Structure formats: structure tokens, C-alpha cells
Amino acid sequence: MTEPDLPDTPKSNQETLLRMVQAIAESQAKEVEMKRQELDIRSQEIASNERIAMKAIEAQERFHIDGRLQYNKHSVHRYIYIILTVLLVCTFTLIMVLNGGKEVIIEVLKMTLAAATGAFGGYHAGKRKKDNPDEE
């Protein structure tokens, strides 16, 4: 071996070592960048899930509020119907009493009670049949 070859050998080992260290550093920098990107994606995913959850909660809140409003409206309409029906029956009864139609009132009351009894019995018979399908 000649004199010029000896000094070149350690330099080439140093350069190789330096290149390997640079390659490792670049590789680690790329890994760090990939992990940072993964964390960014994960944080975006979490934020998206949070927005979706908040929208779902808002929708449920609106649904429950609207449901209560609809139920209240239905209840008000039902009470108005009952009050108007009672007023109508009372007016009819008063007019018939004033005009001497007590017999008509008694006959109408008999028919109404018979219809109400039949409806009540039929409702409960159907309900019992639905609850116990093996009984007939």
C-alpha cells in the first residue's frame, strides 16, 4: 500500500459513517413528520366526531321540544273538543227541558249510555284479546 491510500481509507469510512448518520437522521425526521401528520389527521377526526355528536344532540333536543309542543297542541284540541261537546249536550238538554221534551232527553240518554257501554266493552275485549292471543 502506498502512502496516499492510507489517509483516504479513514476519510472514506468517516464519509460513509457520516452518510449513514445523515440517512438515519433523515429517516427519523421523516418518521417524526409522518407521526405529526397522523396526529393532525387524528385531531381532525376527533373534531369531526365532536361536531357530529353536537349536531346529533341538537337534533335530539329539537325533536323532544317539538314532540312536547305537538303533544300539548293535541291535548289542547282534545280538551276543546270535550268542552264543546259538553256545552252542546247541555244546550240541547236545556232547550229540550224548556220545550217540554223530557221524554226525548231520556231516550237520547238511554241510546248514548247503550252506545258508550258497547264501545267500552268492545275496547276492553279487544285489548284483552291482543294481550292474551291464546284466549278466545
- Domain range list for the chain: 7-100, 101-136
Per-residue pLDDT, 26 = 93
128 Cβ partners below 8 Å, 6+ apart?
Answer: 135
Per-residue pLDDT, 3 = 44
- Sequential pLDDT tens for the chain (136 residues): 444 444 455 678 888 999 999 999 999 999 999 999 999 999 999 999 999 999 999 999 998 888 888 889 999 999 999 999 999 989 988 898 888 888 888 888 899 999 999 999 998 888 888 887 765 5
CA distance 17 to 129: 90
CA distance 95 to 93: 5
Per-residue pLDDT, 5 = 47
Q: In residues, how long is the chain?
A: 136
pTM of the predicted model as reported, rounded to 2 decimal places: 0.45
